[in-house]
């Protein structure tokens, strides 16, 4: 057969917008997925052709059953495969023969239960025949714009703006149930399963471009292709809000995830940092994932972080402010003259408070409206949150109109609103105004939307970045320690500042180098057998004279050969002693999941005990480096807390950018520690560099 290669995106588009679907394993037994799936497709109102396939023939739910794919009157756009796992390879070959471009394999029993052989077989068949696979080990797929419910449960009749992508059927049921109950609906429901071909990043790219989708929520147990995922997050980042719930964050959880989907879960700290880098909201539980998705798919993305809290009750307003402050949102004060204007408005019971949080102590909707219009006119806030704690008659109509008039985004929290709440909630959400159950839940979603907006605006100003990096497969798994005097030459190429230095094979030579550099100096052992020099007595500092250098040299030789039996000692590195100063650590790592990652922290106890470090995926943009520095809890120390002089943040940013540049251009670097790095008021200096590299594999 003639084959015209389609891109992954074209294939996903064709599969989700399929005009005809073969259901391989369709059944007349109502307890079987092969029956339930056909039923779902009918209940969902699918308008294309459904071709049930079963060797027994007959009819299912009024549809003619075909005995095999070859009997079909046309080539369907997709086949949904619902048969026992051992029959899947044969079915795929049949599909190939009639030229079906993509299959959705729901069947389980592949690598997740150790049958890697079966999984490899279907991948091979797919590659040889240019068939693309969604799954296996999933519940199916839903795309409401095409009324396609190729999944046995549940049927979502509402076409909404939210897309879900998950690794758990039960969790999906829960999320879709909530969306259904609220009348919100979804655009797409993607079950990821084993992702043997089309993976999370492919779907993300598709959904980013899909005009029916307003926001994407993901539940991930691991990431299939870390770098591809990063690239997708970056590309999607400017276009569409994304929220992620990462499972397997704990030690025990991680173990279960590994056995559950056989995927590798990276460190959650690294994962969270990468999400932050690309403006992705990190959910902390199922409910927050849903809340983020709901708000991000509806809310007009705010232009800034100023929140005006307007409540029917003071108590709710205070709680909203508490939550807002803990997420770094700003609660702008209302200037005195505007407070005066507000107080002049006509209120039935003028007992409220006109500072932010505004407590109107009213249930009259026109009073809320007047206040909001006046506040918006003075451009005091980017978001209005209305906290209703009683039934507010007419709130729906008023807010829908208000949203058309004001610059600020509008969100609502509604409690105890009884029938008024039940009536207005779906209407408001349909009009793009999210309604959350409590002030705190609403505020958290505002924080996510604000962050997305920040990243989106920053992204518009910078050019697009290529996150591709060297293929790890090209390198051997063996790590080799790079002696510091060699590492230092590499640093130099990337403008990474290191003290003036020289190599010396013996004590005399060391003195000569020291005299040239000027005292005081530091000397460090040079030996391929010693990577942690200080631990074995291989470093002596603050040597102020030739005599001290000689004594220091002898000491090092003594102690190192005592500590590391048979160590080959080539000499010492003599460095000019650096001034005292604040010490930080900069690290880099080729993460098994996400590729090159940069780390920053204050070093010592802060890094080892308090884990007060920040991460970003390389290559860093300038604002990534800035955020890394600001994100650590000890940041005030860098700014000069406790009467210390602050340090040169710009030089620190430059250094992070240079390290990022280096690890991207030198893919042989597997791990890097610059520790300590001294940061001064107007300068910066790397005092120690430890690099582990790996060799390129020989061509086979």
Q: Which residues from 565-604 bind a second copy, rule CB under 8 A?
A: 604
61 three-class SS:
coil
| Interacting residues with a second copy between 217 and 236 (CB under 8 A) | 219, 221
The least distance separating a second copy from the CB of residue 416, rounded to whole angstroms, comes to 3
Q: Is 27 in the site for a second copy (CB under 8 A)?
A: no
The window from 68-76, 584-592, 609-617, 692-700 that contacts a second copy (CB under 8 A) reads 609-617
Q: Is 3 in the site for a second copy (CB under 8 A)?
A: no
Nearer to a second copy, 22 or 629 (CB): 629
Among 25, 34, 135, 154, binds a second copy (CB under 8 A): 154
CA distance 343 to 174: 46
Structure tokens at 615: 């991460």
213 or 261: whose CB is closer to a second copy? 261
Closest among 90, 96, 98 to 129, alpha carbons compared: 96
Q: Considering only residues 247, 511, 514, 620, which one is a binding residue for a second copy as defined by CB under 8 A? A: 247
Minimum CB separation of residue 190 from a second copy in Å reads 14
Q: What is the nearest approach in angstroms of a second copy to the Cβ of residue 605?
A: 6
Taking the complex as a whole, the smallest distance from the CB of residue 329 to a second copy amounts, in Å, to: 10
According to CB under 8 A, which residues from 66 to 105 bind a second copy? none
Q: Which one, 58 or 416, has the nearer CB to a second copy?
A: 416
DSSP 8-state secondary structure symbol assigned to residue 346: -
Stretch that binds a second copy, among 13-21, 257-265, 402-410, 587-595 (CB under 8 A): 257-265
- Angle 553-555-560 from CA coordinates, rounded to 5°: 100
* Binding to a second copy, residues 110-149 (CB under 8 A): 113
Nearer to a second copy, 300 or 441 (CB): 441
Token look-up 């209305």 returns: 386
Give the closest residue to 632 by CA, choosing from 566, 571, 684, 585. Answer: 585
Q: Angle formed by the axes of helices 439-461 and 314-326, to 10°?
A: 40
Please say whether the beta carbons of 163 and 143 come within 8 A.
no
Name which of residues 357 to 386 contact a second copy (CB under 8 A). Answer: 357, 359
Q: Whose structure tokens read 């918006």?
A: 376
Figure out which of the listed residues 302, 389, 483, 499 binds a second copy, where binding follows CB under 8 A.
Answer: 389
Region class of 574: left (phi > 0), else alpha (psi between -120 and 50), else beta: beta
Give the footprint of a second copy on residues 297-356 (CB under 8 A).
311-319, 321-326, 331, 351, 353, 355-356
Summary count for the chain: helices (H), strands (E): 23, 30
Burial of 183 (0-12, 13-18, 19+ CB in 10 A): middle
Using the rule CB under 8 A, give the single segment among 40-48, 374-382, 401-409, 607-615 that binds a second copy. 607-615
CB of 439 to a second copy, least distance (A): 7
- Return d(Cα 1, Cα 132) in angstroms, integer: 16
Report which DSSP code applies to 676.
E
Query: Closest distance between a second copy and the C-beta of residue 455, in Å?
Result: 25
Angle at 431 between CA 209 and CA 313, to 5 degrees: 125
Interface region with a second copy, contact rule CB under 8 A, candidates 4-12, 399-407, 583-591, 606-614: 606-614
- 34 in contact with a second copy (CB under 8 A): no
Q: Choose, by CB under 8 A, the member of 182, 366, 390, 583 that binds a second copy.
A: 390
Closer residue to a second copy (CB): 231 or 387: 387
* DSSP H helices in 247-379: 251-261, 268-277, 286-298, 314-326, 336-344, 365-377
Q: Pairing mode, if any, of strands 140-143 and 132-134?
A: unpaired
Is there binding between residue 158 and a second copy (CB under 8 A)?
Answer: no
Extract the tokens encoding 149: 């419910």
Residue 609 lies near a second copy (rule: CB under 8 A)? yes
Distance of closest approach, residue 193 Cβ to a second copy, in angstroms: 12
Nearer to a second copy, 247 or 530 (CB): 247
Question: What is the contact mask toward a second copy in residues 402 to 421, using x (rule: CB under 8 A)?
Answer: -------------xx-x---
Closer Cβ to a second copy, 65 or 257, answer by number? 257
Name, in order, each residue with C-beta under 8 angstroms of 429's C-beta and a sequence gap of 6 or more.
182, 183, 184, 294, 298, 435
Identify the residue among 72, 123, 159, 171 touching a second copy (CB under 8 A). 171
For residue 656, CA distances in Å to 203, 220, 230, 594 come to 32, 30, 19, 18
Query: CB atoms < 10 A from the CB of 558, how many?
Result: 11
287 binds a second copy (CB under 8 A): yes
The per-residue DSSP string of 118-144 comes to HHHHHHHHHHHHT-EEE-SSS-EEEEG
- Examine residue 256 and tell whether it contacts a second copy (CB under 8 A): yes
Kindly tell me which residue out of 303, 437, 456, 666 binds a second copy, with binding defined by CB under 8 A: 437
Of residues 494-533, those binding a second copy (CB under 8 A): none
Select from 48, 89, 145, 174 the one that contacts a second copy (CB under 8 A).
Answer: 174
Distance CA 667, CA 490 (A): 13
**Binding segment (CB under 8 A) for a second copy, from list 171-179, 474-482, 524-532, 687-695:** 171-179
Q: Contacting a second copy (CB under 8 A), which of 48, 145, 183, 253?
A: 253
Within 8 A by CB and 6+ apart from 2, the residues are none
Q: Is 700 exposed, middle or buried (0-12, 13-18, 19+ CB in 10 A)?
A: exposed
Q: Which is nearer to a second copy, 531 or 545 (CB)?
A: 531
Q: Please count the other Cβ atoms lying within 10 Å of the Cβ belonging to residue 379.
A: 13
User: Could you tell me the smallest distance in angstroms from the CB atom of residue 637 to a second copy?
Assistant: 6
**95/310 with CB nearer a second copy:** 310
Query: Which window, 64-72, 242-250, 479-487, 488-496, contacts a second copy (CB under 8 A)?
Result: 242-250
The widest CA-to-CA distance across the chain, in whole angstroms, is 100
Q: Does 170 bind a second copy (CB under 8 A)?
A: yes
- 433 in contact with a second copy (CB under 8 A): no
Find the binding residues for a second copy in span 629-688 (CB under 8 A): 633-634, 636-637, 641-642
Residue 174 contacts residue 124 (beta carbons within 8 Å): no
The residue from 108, 301, 465, 503 that contacts a second copy (CB under 8 A) is 108
Whether cis (ω within 30° of 0) applies to the bond prior to 520 is: yes
C-alpha angle 465-274-455 in degrees, rounded to nearest 5: 60
- Restricting to residues 190-219, which ones interact with a second copy according to CB under 8 A? 219
Residue 197 burial class via C-beta count within 10 angstroms: exposed 0-12, middle 13-18, buried 19 and up: buried
Asked whether position 267 contacts a second copy by CB under 8 A, the answer is: no
In angstroms, give the least distance from the CB of 284 to a second copy: 8
């Amino acid at each position: 057969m003639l084959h015209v290669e389609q891109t992954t995106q074209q294939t996903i588009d064709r599969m989700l917008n399929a005009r005809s679907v073969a259901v391989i394993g369709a059944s007349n037994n109502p307890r079987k997925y092969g029956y339930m799936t056909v039923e779902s497709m009918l209940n969902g109102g699918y308008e294309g052709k459904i071709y049930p396939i079963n060797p027994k023939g007959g009819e299912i739910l009024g549809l003619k059953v075909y005995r095999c794919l070859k009997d079909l009157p046309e080539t369907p756009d997709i086949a949904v495969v619902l048969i026992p796992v051992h029959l899947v390879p044969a079915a795929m070959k049949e599909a190939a023969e009639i030229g079906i471009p993509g299959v959705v394999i729901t069947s389980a029993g592949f690598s997740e239960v150790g049958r890697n052989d079966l999984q490899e077989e279907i991948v091979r068949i797919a590659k040889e025949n240019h068939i693309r696979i969604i799954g296996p080990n999933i519940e199916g797929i839903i795309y409401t714009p095409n009324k396609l419910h190729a999944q046995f449960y549940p049927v979502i009749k509402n076409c909404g703006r939210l897309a879900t992508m998950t690794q758990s059927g039960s969790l999906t049921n829960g999320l879709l149930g909530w969306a259904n109950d609220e009348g919100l609906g979804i655009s797409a429901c993607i079950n990821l399963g084993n992702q043997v071909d089309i993976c999370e990043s492919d779907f993300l790219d598709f959904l980013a471009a899909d005009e029916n989708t307003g926001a994407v929520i993901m539940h991930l147990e691991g990431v299939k292709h870390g770098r591809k995922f990063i690239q997708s997050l970056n590309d999607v980042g400017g276009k569409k809000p994304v929220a992620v719930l990462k499972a397997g964050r704990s030690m025990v959880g991680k173990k279960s995830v590994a056995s559950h989907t056989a995927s590798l879960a990276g460190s959650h700290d690294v994962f969270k940092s990468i999400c932050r880098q690309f403006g992705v909201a990190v959910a902390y539980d199922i409910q927050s994932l849903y809340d983020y998705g709901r708000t991000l798919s509806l809310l007009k993305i705010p232009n800034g972080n100023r929140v005006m809290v307007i409540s029917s009750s003071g108590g709710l307003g205070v709680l909203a402010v508490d939550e807002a402050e803990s997420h770094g949102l700003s609660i702008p004060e209302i200037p005195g003259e505007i407070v005066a204007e507000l107080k002049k408005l006509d209120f039935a019971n003028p007992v409220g408070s006109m500072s932010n949080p505004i407590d109107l102590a009213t249930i009259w909707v026109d009073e809320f409206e007047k206040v909001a219009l006046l506040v918006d006119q003075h451009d005091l806030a980017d978001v209005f949150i209305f906290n209703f704690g009683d039934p507010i008659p007419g709130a729906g109509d008023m807010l829908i109109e208000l949203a058309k008039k004001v610059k600020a985004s509008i969100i609502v929290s509604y409690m105890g609103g009884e029938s008024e709440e039940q009536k207005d909630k779906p209407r408001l959400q349909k009009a793009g105004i999210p309604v959350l159950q409590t002030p705190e839940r609403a505020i958290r979603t505002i924080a996510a939307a604000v962050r997305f907006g920040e990243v989106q605006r920053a992204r518009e100003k910078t050019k697009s970045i290529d996150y591709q990096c060297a293929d790890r497969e090209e390198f051997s798994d063996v790590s080799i320690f790079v002696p510091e005097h060699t590492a230092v030459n590499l640093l130099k190429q990337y403008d990474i500042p290191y003290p003036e230095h020289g190599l010396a094979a013996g004590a005399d030579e060391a003195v000569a180098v020291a005299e040239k550099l000027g005292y005081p100096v530091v000397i460090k052992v040079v030996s391929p057998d010693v990577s942690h020099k200080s631990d074995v007595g291989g470093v002596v500092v603050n040597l102020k004279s030739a005599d001290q250098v000689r004594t220091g040299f002898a000491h090092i030789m003594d102690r190192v050969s005592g500590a590391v039996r048979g160590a080959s000692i080539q000499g010492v590195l003599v460095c000019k002693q650096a001034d005292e100063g604040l010490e930080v650590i900069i690290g880099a790592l080729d993460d098994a999941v996400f590729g090159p990652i940069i780390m920053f922290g204050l070093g010592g106890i802060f890094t080892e005990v308090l884990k007060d470090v920040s991460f970003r995926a390389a290559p860093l943009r300038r604002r990534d480096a800035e955020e890394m520095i600001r994100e650590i809890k000890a940041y005030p120390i860098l700014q000069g807390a406790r009467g210390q002089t602050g340090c040169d943040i710009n030089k620190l940013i430059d250094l992070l950018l240079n390290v990022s540049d280096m690890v991207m251009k030198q893919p042989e670097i597997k791990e890097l520690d610059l520790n300590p790095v001294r940061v001064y008021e107007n300068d910066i200096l790397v005092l120690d560099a430890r690099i582990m590299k790996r060799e390129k594999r020989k061509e086979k």
